[in-house]
Amino acid sequence: MDTLLLIGAAVVAGVWLLRHLSTHNRRVCPRCGGTGRLTSGVVSKRYRQCPRCKGTTFVRGWGGRPE
Beta bridge partners of 58: 28
Classified as helix, coil or strand, 33 is: coil
Q: What minimum distance in Å lies between the beta carbon of 22 and Zn ion? A: 19
Closer residue to Zn ion in complex, CB, 27/31: 31
Contact positions vs Zn ion (CB under 5 A):
29, 31-32, 50, 52-53
The nearer residue to Zn ion, 19 or 54, going by C-beta atoms, is 54
The one-letter amino acid code at 5 reads L
Number of helical (H) and strand (E) elements in the chain, helices listed first = 1, 4
Q: How far is the CB of 9 from Zn ion (least distance, A)?
A: 39
